[in-house]
A and B are shown apart, each in its own frame.
Chain A
Amino acid sequence: MDNNLLISIFLPLIAGFILLFVPNRARAFCKAVTLIISVVAFVLAINIFKAGDAAHGWPVLQIDGFSLDLLLKVTPLGSFILMFAMGFGVLITIYSLKSTAQVKRAGEFYGAILLTLGGSAGILLSDNLMFLLIFWEVVTVSLYLLIGTGGRGCNFAATKSFAMIGASDAAFLLGVLMVWATAGTLVISEISLATTSAIPIIAFLLLLTAAITKAGAMPLHTWLPTSGEYASASVMALLPAAIDKLLGIYLLILIVRQLFVMQSAALSMVLAVIGAGTIIIAVMIAMVQHNLKKLLSYHAISQVGYMILGIATGTPVGLAGGVFHMLNNAIYKCCLFLCGGAVEEATGTAELEKLGGLGKKMSITFTACFIAALSISGIPPLNGFVSKWMIYQGVIQMGTEQTSGAAKLWSVWLVAAMFGSALTLASFVKVIHSVFLSRLPEELKETKAAPALQRLPMMVLALLCIGFGIFYHWPLKMFIYPALNLEADTVIFGNWESGLATILMIIGIILGSLILAVGFLSKKVRLVPTWTCGEVQENAEMTIPGTHFYKTVSSMSGLKGLYKGQEKGCFDSYDQSGKVGSALTNFLRWLHGGILSIYLSWVIMGLLVILFIVCKIW
């Protein structure tokens, strides 16, 4: 058993590292190795989850009194996330077998996928903060490599992501050191710090920075849309949509539930503000995007807000809802990115204006995308609805049972979350309309359906969306409640009989179809051209893309300026810190002009300062 843990971490890591150097000609070899190892890792992860709690340690380093052991521990939370992370690994590998996006650098692509899987397994299993950090870095680096295999402009996106996540990893390191200094140990299961004094609070905030940057919450989200625009869709589906979310939220739960004891009311306020703000702002930006993948990236940001808000409530139902939403989001967002990728590969563009009417050409992709889009918009009885509904209950319960500052503002959080859901629906109506419905442009008349190997992962994920929605008690009892140590029957206090509702909906659909059937059978059906009130118009003139649907919103007097500023990057922490950096460099460059008189005057000024200090002290 103990070997299982080691294998599931180091087999993908070593294989991935070797694959990085395999030349591009051996593409088939890379694919085969990745597929086999990801399946092995998935099977191992299932076994680890089934076997339950276990703990093992291997001594690595011993210097005097200080020892660093590779401690691996199977927790209910870590092992169920591990299982799903490896599952996503398998699905994405299958999807990418037929993908044309990474033809040029296959070794790097597949190697980085395996590194990601190994790194995630390490994060989810390790019980030592230092090793957790090391594996965390492995995932960051492999994200850099993966984004770098994308199309034109991907180097910029990769650098930006690496800079932002790397900076947050530095904060992580600092936080780990502070935790070590206060708690005296790096073993996660032994740490429990009270957030009453300054140092634990600072450490909390540093670790929080790392968690939310990985998950992609505001205000440290801007790497996500940039990479969404340039990276290939399978990369986006694997990391930012699925595994990064799982890891970021895993770390957040670790911080909130294990490493720290949340006593400071201000900290739950911080979490709630980040959560609610992320939901609303990101979805407002997503609504006006013109690029399919960029739009999906902004939704990947917005959905993190729900998870953070759920965790911020501190109530059992909110916490369970947040974790369940993490899982659901990974499922439907992964599916959406895969569909987006399939559309991009079939048509050669991800610009919404150039797409349309693909529902008839790519019916399976359309079905999967449609289900996932309804799920992310929280339409009952799909899975996105259930977890959002639990988070709403958490917010309401927080308002009625707690007395902290964050609890008093529960109505603000609830409106942000529920209204965010309506805006999500609006923006996916735009996607569905512009890509799959509307009219088929002349250039896309020859579009072919996605290959079967790409349709399979989409269908699996779409079915999971339906299954986890209708039978939501099952994943909750199986994964979520044990992971969070909650009593199964005491969590949810609302009422949603999803099975009965589904049956009633089906009866309703049958009744409606009966009426339709009477009409269809008694009268003949005629296919006619679109009614244009008698005017003769070309196809192109009748096509209205969805990109201008929400101009009414973006040109509203209060919002116009904000939208313009956002487009220019005024709220992008990467751009802004870049500006500060270049200002600093310009100042230094001006100082080092090579002119002797300036150097001399600085030297004299320095001497004067020293003289002043010396005289003052003595």
Chain B
Amino acid sequence: MTEPLQILFWVVVFPGFLFTLILGLVASWIVRKVSALVQWRVGPPLLQPFYDVIKLMGKEILIPQEAQRTIFTMAPVVSVAGTLLLSMMLWRVSLAGTSFVGDIIVAIYLMVLPSLALILGGSASASPHATVGTSREMKLVMGYELPLLLALIVVIIKSGGQLSLVAIAQNAPVLSISGMLAFLASLMCVQAKLGFVPFDMAEAETELGSGILMEYSGALLAVWKVAQAMMLVALPLFLVTVFLGGFTSSLWAGIGKYVLVLVLIILIKNTNPRVQIHQAMKFFWVHCGIALVVAVILATIGNNYGIGWL
């Protein structure tokens, strides 16, 4: 196969769009099934997330009159594109061990794209409920960005100033105190990025009526579901690659790490109530912030004096 065709195959089929999408829908089934078990319910069958997307595709599309239509319709699509690019980067690092498209700073910036698309989509829908959701989502992004960056610094110190994801995936920072702190804080950030309880205040079904996604329906909502399913693959994969040593030892170990992270996320989701936005910001800026400043100091000391476990 020629190279452009090969890249196209990677992007569209494996490990790109289709593979990530199917894996993501299965992962969202796991989320729902485990949540059901925690809540003493039976839970949906394996194919339920697929049925949901297909059913949404067949529904009528409603667009608010006051909406800015281009942004409103393109937002979910851009979210899919950003997530696809991020997951391609991570898959190439995990499966082929080669650097692809960008380094870790690029990855951090690409992770903002889906949230930004969500914010702009909500804002474009011209609904007051969605606007409240927009404001909350943006504040949430501001909140978790600070601990995520501090965690990034711990990772960079641990990798000796390397930025490429391949080099970072070689070591597992989680095996040190600072790396552990950074991993835990990043796990909370990923929780917030996925919009899972306790950080689901932007959607907040019970008070805002799914806020930021309120005006979306039919195929538009289906594309959002697709993007969210793909994020459920890409974001835990990011944690696995950056903090847990990635897929370097073996494929099965990598898959095991992914499932472990997923289960951790599900357990946090099911054992916490939704917090208010100012509580979330305080949690990220003050509590996570202090923990990570300690982590950065520990990592610097460990790096300067050659103490690995700090």
Contact = CB atoms under 8 A, between A and B. Distances in A.
Interface of A: 357, 359-360, 366, 378-380, 385, 389, 392-393, 396-397, 399-400, 411, 414-415, 418-419, 422-423, 425-426, 429-430, 432-433, 436-440, 493-497, 500-501, 504-509, 511-513, 515-516, 518-520, 522-533, 542-544, 546, 548-550, 552-553, 556
Given A397-B161, A495-B163, A553-B139, A504 B61 contact: no
Contact of A552 (B112, B139, B164): B139
B195 to A, nearest CB: 17
Contact of A526 (B62, B99, B281): B62
A494 B296 CA distance: 22
A525 B63 contact: yes
Contacts of A429: 116, 119-120, 123, 134, 138
Interface in B5-21: 8, 11-12, 17
B141 interface: yes
B160 A509 contact: no
A476 B219 CA distance: 43
Nearest to B289: A415
A508 B81 contact: yes
Contacts of A516: 73, 76-77, 219-220, 223
Given A426-B141, A508-B85, A552-B278, A437 B163 contact: no
Interface stretch (B37-45, B146-154, B169-177, B243-251): B146-154
A418 to B, nearest CB: 5
19 contacts: A379-B113, A411-B150, A422-B149, A437-B120, A495-B99, A496-B101, A496-B103, A501-B101, A501-B106, A504-B11, A507-B81, A523-B61, A525-B60, A528-B62, A529-B66, A530-B127, A542-B127, A552-B278, A553-B281
Contact of B85 (A378, A501, A513, A542): A501
Nearest to A513: B77
Contacts of A509: 74, 77-78, 80-81
Given A432-B120, A439-B126, A526-B62, 15 more contacts: A359-B68, A380-B102, A389-B109, A411-B296, A418-B145, A418-B152, A422-B146, A495-B163, A496-B103, A497-B101, A501-B85, A504-B81, A515-B219, A516-B77, A524-B60
A496 B153 contact: no
B116 A425 contact: yes
B77 A552 contact: no
Contacts of A418: 108, 145, 149, 152
Given A357-B126, A432-B123, A526-B61, A533 B209 contact: yes
A518 B17 CA distance: 17
Name the residue among A400, A432, A507, A512 with the largest chain B CB count within 10 angstroms: A512
Contact of B145 (A389, A422, A513): A422
Contacts of A360: 68
Contacts of B134: 429, 433, 549
Given A419-B145, A526-B60, A426 B219 contact: no
Contacts of A506: 81
B294 interface: no
B142 interface: yes
A128 B275 CA distance: 63
B131 A507 contact: no
Contacts, number: 250
A7 B36 CA distance: 79
A497 B88 CA distance: 13
Given A415-B149, A495-B163, A422 B142 contact: yes
B135 interface: yes
Contacts of A512: 76-81, 223, 226-227
B64 interface: yes
B149 A439 contact: no
Given A378-B109, A419-B145, A500 B101 contact: yes
Contacts of A422: 112, 141-142, 145-146, 149
6 A-B pairs closest in CB distance: A519-B219, A508-B81, A512-B77, A400-B161, A422-B145, A512-B80
Contact of A519 (B12, B57, B110): B57
Nearest to B88: A504
B143 to A, nearest CB: 9
B113 A518 contact: no
A353 to B, nearest CB: 14
B215 to A, nearest CB: 7
Given A438-B126, A544-B131, A527 B12 contact: no
B218 interface: yes
A530 B65 contact: yes
Contacts of B80: 508-509, 511-512
A440 B66 contact: yes
B128 interface: yes
Nearest to A430: B138
A438 B123 contact: yes
Nearest to A496: B102
Contacts of B123: 429, 432-433, 437-438
B76 A380 contact: no
B300 interface: yes
Nearest to A401: B161
Interface string B51-92: 000000111111111101001011011111111110010000
A414 B65 CA distance: 44
Given A397-B161, A426-B141, A504 B64 contact: no
Contacts of B263: none
Contacts of A396: 156, 161, 163
A420 to B, nearest CB: 10
A439 B218 CA distance: 23
A437 B126 contact: yes
A411 B300 contact: yes
Contacts of B88: 504
Contacts of B161: 396-397, 399-400
Interface string B92-131: 0000000111110110111011001001100111111101
Given A439-B126, A494-B103, A529-B64, A556 B8 contact: no
B60 A522 contact: no
Contacts of A530: 64-66, 125-128, 215
A183 B124 CA distance: 61
Contact of B153 (A393, A411, A432, A501): A411
B219 A507 contact: no
Nearest to B226: A515
A442 B103 CA distance: 48
Interface string B243-279: 0000000000000000000000000000000000110
Contacts of B58: 522-523
A523 B76 CA distance: 18
Nearest to B62: A528
